[in-house]
A and B are shown apart, each in its own frame.
Chain A
Amino acid sequence: MESILIAIIALGCIALVFGAILGFASVKFKVEGNPIVDQIDALLPQTQCGQCSYPGCRPYAEAIANGEAINKCPPGGQSTIDALADLLDVEAIPLDAEHGQEQPKTVAFIREAECIGCTKCIQACPVDAILGAAKQMHTVIASECTGCDLCVEPCPVDCIDMLPIEPTLANWNWPSPSSSEHIIATDRGRGNAGSAA
């Protein structure tokens, strides 16, 4: 009986000591981090497209912080989901197809000859990237356009195209060697590379 008591007391003391250490550490080494919403918001692509069914990226970030699924952002794609999963320490899940597919980056382009100057697209643009006035031709500031698609629907004359961003000499990049089969013998080779070796 006595030995049990001693054991309980000893364990209790140890628990107290470690609890005190942990408590001290949590105060002493407190991490002054960004609030989680800011961190989530920083990972989202900021297209403000609303495909996640929230009115912009920040509202979605707030929703994620409150437990919303992380796979509702088609513009960000899998890389954003992975980054969010990494940040929130949850499992990376595939993109929810309900909200759209991951597509190559595009930029809005107004066929200016057909624009009637209705200003509807200007009102729709979440980042004020369309320039123009009533009854005046509008144009997209391509460098500010996030490719969110939101201006296409309201246009009464369908004069807005979403054009893929063309590679230029300035933004061209070397392809990754791992993407080319003939350089690396991996599963993709399925034995073909063996004959080359």
Chain B
Amino acid sequence: MSKIWSFHGGIHPPENKQQSLQRPLEALPLPSRLVLPLQQHIGAPASPLVKVGDRVLKGQPIAEPTGFVSAYLHAPTSGTVVDLVDHSVPHPSGMTAPCVVIEPDGEERWIELQGVDDYRSLEKHELAERIRHAGIAGMGGAGFPTEIKLHLSDDHIINTLIINGVECEPYITADDMLMRERADEIIGGIEIAAHLLTPTHVLMGIEDNKPEAARAMTEAARRSRIDIEVVVVPTKYPSGGERQLVKLLTGVEVPSGKIPADIGIVVQNVGTLAAVYNAVHFGKPLISRITTITGEAASRPGNREVLIGTPISDLLAHAGVDPNRLTRLVMGGPMMGYALGNANVPLIKTSNCIIAGAADEFPPAPPAQNCIRCGACEQVCPAELLPQQLHWFAKGREYDKALNFNLLDCIECGACSYVCPSNIPLVQYYRHAKGEIRREQAEQRKAEQARIRFEARNERLEREKTEKEARRKARAEAAAKAQAAKKDDAVTSAPKADPEAALKAAKTAAAVARTKLKKAEKALQIARDSGESDLAALEAEVSAQQQKVAASEAALKAAESTAPAKTPDIKELKLAAATARTKVTKTEKALADAEAKALPSAEKLRSSLATLRSKADAAQHALAAAEQSARPAAPAEATAAATADLKQLKSNAAILRTKLKKARKAIEAGDSSAELAQQVTELEPQLASAEQALAAAQAQQPPHTGPDLKALKSAVAIARTKVKKAQKALDEAGDNDDLRAELAQLQQQAAAADAALEAAQQATESP
């Protein structure tokens, strides 16, 4: 017999275990519906593998883990998946969670099970994988996926495996019953766990209020091939708490914030190990468990073997629970379990007990009195906390102080609330405070994240701005350099690298030179007229400029000759043609003017007009020729050009419209000057023609390009929103004629947009 240590505090509440031990273990009849929450374990919820209508076999996986800490879920019987819904689940909040609902067909057809007889021949990770595929999660209450605890990484060396058969909570006898009935399965599970973890000691703790279970386990342990020590510990709540049990059996404490594996200890519940045994030897997944049903409202209390997913109402009916006496339905034990709001929730992998409590058994908590600092809570706290101090801090929302008083080491065992003479719901204070602390920490993390993102964004914007600035500068510099280079080039001529660029540069240079010359000449003229003195200087300047012009023109010519013969650029040609035409029209106008006024310049104009006309003709020809040659080669370009034209037309029309609107607005605003009126009259026909052109162009558009549905949609959406906003404004402003008119207009627009969209949609759908 190994030494038993002790832990601080603890209480001895009435055990009430005998009630549920009077009847042997029974199996619950197959329920008419099974509700399987996707999360019955700690970690990420499983993701379903079945859909509504699927037929499933008993033991078939219906959901798979979605992360490292997650678990498989299996069909507890054969039947049909009838629903995948949010169903109320066993949780203190009474909220719903996604569940798979199965309607059993009553045939109980198993999938093919593959057990292994000699698990020692398997690789450890294969063995762990088998346990994982059986969906086993800690059945003592927490529901931590078991294979993670059994297949630890290399940095955890396990020296002690502790099997938890303590079951210290009052009322619960599920583990007691399991140990009495299936001791060999538990031993088999322990052997598998010991094989996986290779501990030097295997200790099993059982409270001394379960002598029969302890006898059965000792017996079975003697038959085992490994050395399992069954330690009977004194009955005290909460000896079954993981940390308390570790202290009790080994004398060491699990450091705060760490897990037992960090000090080389793994604790497993007896039910979990029995499930591991069945999973490995027979390939049976975890689809049922032993649950205690007890409480004063139950006329047939006892332990039942239930399928996971069985509604609690079925269990209550089987145990003969009188609904008129039932006032509190507790899942788990009376010390740490939570009260359920209704019986329409399923039993899950961690449901070890259901207490159907009557009013005199669980009277409503009396109102809390003031804390008199009696220290009873401190005497019983198994974590050696100062519960009353924590209570003050939690009540006063001083969470940092509560943290400093180690609130997070509280295991919520309820011993302090149990003894409190003032009936203060201490545990609820701690639970609330812990939740608030978690929320605050999450918020703080989020705020920190937001701050980082905000700063990153600001940095990005700043960077973009500077980059833009840098690019602009670079462009300006490049331009300046090019200018300088051109100047040089103009003198030295001989373009080297890019003949085309050189040509362009040369052209610009020539143009610049010409302008400068013109300016110089003008200055000279002015100077002459006004009789300035420094005529000489100006003249020299002019001659210098003339020379430069000559040089640049020579350079230009040279460049032109060196530039490769290129395909005529249609755009350029178009431009040239257009310019030529404009010039012609302008000159024509000027000529008409001059002729009307009989000016002497008419003659001159006439001759220039002639040259211009010929030039325009030439340009037109060239364009025509170029277009002819380009068209067969690049029809796509043409259509592109066409769409581009369409766009151009659209924007023209839009601009005109805006102008018109502005002018009208100005007039409305009271500026009734003749100028504006004229502008309006001018703009109106222009707009009309632009719109006509647009319409024509649109008509010409090849049908396949079609109306832009997206654009239309967004137009419709915008129009609608405008209508909405206007409506709102109208609502707020009350009766307002202007607004109403505007609204009507907007509504019309929206309707038009809608119609257009519909038409477009039809058009696109019909072919």
A3 CB–B CB distance under 8 Å:
no
Which B residues are CB-close (under 8 A) to A126? Answer: 454, 457
Contact of B97 among A116, A169, A174, A182 (CB under 8 A): A169
Q: Show 23 residue pairs from A and B whose CB-CB distance is below 8 angstroms, ordered by the A residue.
A: A46-B447, A56-B454, A116-B713, A126-B457, A128-B453, A128-B460, A144-B453, A146-B450, A157-B714, A159-B717, A167-B95, A169-B39, A169-B93, A169-B97, A172-B95, A174-B431, A174-B432, A177-B428, A182-B367, A183-B365, A183-B425, A184-B367, A184-B368
Report how many residues on chain A are interfacial, defined by Cβ distance under 8 Å.
Answer: 43
Which B residues are CB-close (under 8 A) to A48? Answer: 450, 454
Complex interface residues of chain B between 437 and 465 (CB less than 8 A to chain A): 438-439, 442-443, 446-451, 453-458, 460
CA distance A140 to B107 in the complex (A): 49
Which B residues are CB-close (under 8 A) to A41? Answer: 451
Give, as a whole number of angstroms, the nearest-CB distance from B172 to chain A: 23
Contact of A157 among B95, B455, B717 (CB under 8 A): B717
Contact of A171 among B439, B448, B454 (CB under 8 A): B439
B96 (CB) vs chain A CBs: closest residue:
A169
Q: CB-CB contacts of B626-652 with A at 8 A, as 1s and 0s?
A: 000000000000000000000000000
Q: CB-CB contacts of A162-184 with B at 8 A, as 1s and 0s?
A: 00000111011111111000111
Asked if B721 and A157 make an inter-chain contact with CB atoms under 8 angstroms apart, the answer reads yes
A116 and B718 contact, Cβ closer than 8 Å, known pairs A57-B454, A127-B450, A169-B97: yes
Asked if A177 and B717 make an inter-chain contact with CB atoms under 8 angstroms apart, the answer reads no
Asked if A174 and B435 make an inter-chain contact with CB atoms under 8 angstroms apart, the answer reads yes
Q: CB-CB contacts of A113-130 with B at 8 A, as 1s and 0s?
A: 010111000000011110
Which B residues are CB-close (under 8 A) to A177? Answer: 368, 424-425, 428-429, 432
Which of B92, B451, B710 gathers the greatest number of chain A CB atoms within 10 Å?
Answer: B451
Complex interface residues of chain B between 441 and 491 (CB less than 8 A to chain A): 442-443, 446-451, 453-458, 460
B436 CB–A CB distance under 8 Å:
yes
Asked if A114 and B717 make an inter-chain contact with CB atoms under 8 angstroms apart, the answer reads yes
A197 CB–B CB distance under 8 Å:
yes
Q: CB-CB contacts of B415-433 with A at 8 A, as 1s and 0s?
A: 0000000001100110110
A192 (CB) vs chain B CBs: closest residue:
B367
CA distance A41 to B453 in the complex (A): 14
Asked if B432 and A156 make an inter-chain contact with CB atoms under 8 angstroms apart, the answer reads no
CA distance A182 to B453 in the complex (A): 45
Which A residues are CB-close (under 8 A) to B724? Answer: 158
Which A residues are CB-close (under 8 A) to B93? Answer: 167, 169, 172
Which A residues are CB-close (under 8 A) to B720? Answer: 157
B281 CB–A CB distance under 8 Å:
no
Give, as a whole number of angstroms, the nearest-CB distance from A181 to chain B: 9
Which B residues are CB-close (under 8 A) to A58? Answer: 451, 454-455
Q: CB-CB contacts of A184-195 with B at 8 A, as 1s and 0s?
A: 110001000100
Asked if A156 and B453 make an inter-chain contact with CB atoms under 8 angstroms apart, the answer reads no
B516 CB–A CB distance under 8 Å:
no
Asked if B365 and A178 make an inter-chain contact with CB atoms under 8 angstroms apart, the answer reads no
Q: 15 new A-B pairs (CB below 8 Å) besides A45-B443, A46-B446, A46-B450?
A: A46-B451, A48-B450, A57-B451, A58-B451, A116-B713, A118-B714, A128-B460, A157-B714, A157-B720, A168-B95, A173-B435, A174-B432, A174-B435, A177-B429, A183-B367
Q: CB-CB contacts of B706-735 with A at 8 A, as 1s and 0s?
A: 000010011001101100100000000000
A5 CB–B CB distance under 8 Å:
no
CA distance A47 to B451 in the complex (A): 8
Closest 4 CB pairs of A and B: A173-B435, A46-B447, A116-B714, A46-B450
Asked if B439 and A178 make an inter-chain contact with CB atoms under 8 angstroms apart, the answer reads no
Contact of A158 among B92, B432, B721 (CB under 8 A): B721
Which A residues are CB-close (under 8 A) to B456? Answer: 128
Which B residues are CB-close (under 8 A) to A178? Answer: 395, 429
A28 CB–B CB distance under 8 Å:
no
Asked if A47 and B429 make an inter-chain contact with CB atoms under 8 angstroms apart, the answer reads no
CA distance A177 to B420 in the complex (A): 15
Which B residues are CB-close (under 8 A) to A185? Answer: 367-369
B14 CB–A CB distance under 8 Å:
no
Give, as a whole number of angstroms, the nearest-CB distance from B383 to chain A: 19
CA distance A182 to B425 in the complex (A): 12
Complex interface residues of chain A between 36 and 66 (CB less than 8 A to chain B): 41, 44-48, 56-58
Report how many residues on chain B are interfacial, defined by Cβ distance under 8 Å.
Answer: 47
B366 CB–A CB distance under 8 Å:
yes
Give, as a whole number of angstroms, the nearest-CB distance from B572 to chain A: 31
A196 CB–B CB distance under 8 Å:
yes
Q: CB-CB contacts of B69-107 with A at 8 A, as 1s and 0s?
A: 000000000000000000001011101010000000000
Which A residues are CB-close (under 8 A) to B366? Answer: 196-197
A141 (CB) vs chain B CBs: closest residue:
B453
Complex interface residues of chain B between 251 and 272 (CB less than 8 A to chain A): none
A47 and B450 contact, Cβ closer than 8 Å, known pairs A116-B714, A127-B457, A177-B425: yes
Which A residues are CB-close (under 8 A) to B92? Answer: 174
CA distance A171 to B93 in the complex (A): 11
Which A residues are CB-close (under 8 A) to B435? Answer: 172-174
Which B residues are CB-close (under 8 A) to A114? Answer: 717
Which B residues are CB-close (under 8 A) to A158? Answer: 721, 724
A30 CB–B CB distance under 8 Å:
no
CA distance A184 to B460 in the complex (A): 54
Which B residues are CB-close (under 8 A) to A169? Answer: 39, 89, 91, 93, 95, 97
Which of A117, A157, A182 gathers the greatest number of chain B CB atoms within 10 Å?
Answer: A157
Which of A156, A158, A177, A184 gathers the greatest number of chain B CB atoms within 10 Å?
Answer: A177
CA distance A44 to B444 in the complex (A): 9
Give, as a whole number of angstroms, the nearest-CB distance from A65 to chain B: 16
Which B residues are CB-close (under 8 A) to A44? Answer: 447
Asked if A156 and B718 make an inter-chain contact with CB atoms under 8 angstroms apart, the answer reads yes
Which of A56, A173, A174 gathers the greatest number of chain B CB atoms within 10 Å?
Answer: A174
Which of A41, A118, A156 gathers the greatest number of chain B CB atoms within 10 Å?
Answer: A156
Which A residues are CB-close (under 8 A) to B436? Answer: 173
Which A residues are CB-close (under 8 A) to B395? Answer: 178
CA distance A128 to B432 in the complex (A): 33
Asked if B717 and A116 make an inter-chain contact with CB atoms under 8 angstroms apart, the answer reads yes
Asked if A173 and B432 make an inter-chain contact with CB atoms under 8 angstroms apart, the answer reads yes
Asked if A46 and B439 make an inter-chain contact with CB atoms under 8 angstroms apart, the answer reads no
Asked if B368 and A183 make an inter-chain contact with CB atoms under 8 angstroms apart, the answer reads yes
A148 (CB) vs chain B CBs: closest residue:
B450
B364 (CB) vs chain A CBs: closest residue:
A182
Q: CB-CB contacts of B393-431 with A at 8 A, as 1s and 0s?
A: 011000000000000000000000000000011001101
Which A residues are CB-close (under 8 A) to B448? Answer: 46
B395 (CB) vs chain A CBs: closest residue:
A178
B435 (CB) vs chain A CBs: closest residue:
A173
B37 (CB) vs chain A CBs: closest residue:
A169
Which B residues are CB-close (under 8 A) to A193? Answer: 367
B437 (CB) vs chain A CBs: closest residue:
A173
Asked if B428 and A174 make an inter-chain contact with CB atoms under 8 angstroms apart, the answer reads yes
Complex interface residues of chain A between 14 and 35 (CB less than 8 A to chain B): none
Contact of B454 among A127, A168, A183 (CB under 8 A): A127
A127 and B453 contact, Cβ closer than 8 Å, known pairs A174-B432, A196-B367: yes
Q: CB-CB contacts of A125-153 with B at 8 A, as 1s and 0s?
A: 01111000001000000001010000000
Complex interface residues of chain B between 18 and 43 (CB less than 8 A to chain A): 39
A123 (CB) vs chain B CBs: closest residue:
B461
Which of B89, B438, B458 gathers the greatest number of chain A CB atoms within 10 Å?
Answer: B458
A158 (CB) vs chain B CBs: closest residue:
B721
Which B residues are CB-close (under 8 A) to A196? Answer: 366-367
Asked if A197 and B450 make an inter-chain contact with CB atoms under 8 angstroms apart, the answer reads no
Which A residues are CB-close (under 8 A) to B453? Answer: 127-129, 144
Which A residues are CB-close (under 8 A) to B431? Answer: 173-174
B449 (CB) vs chain A CBs: closest residue:
A144
B39 (CB) vs chain A CBs: closest residue:
A169
Complex interface residues of chain A between 46 and 102 (CB less than 8 A to chain B): 46-48, 56-58
CA distance A167 to B96 in the complex (A): 11
Give, as a whole number of angstroms, the nearest-CB distance from B1 to chain A: 42
CA distance A119 to B409 in the complex (A): 49
Asked if B454 and A46 make an inter-chain contact with CB atoms under 8 angstroms apart, the answer reads yes
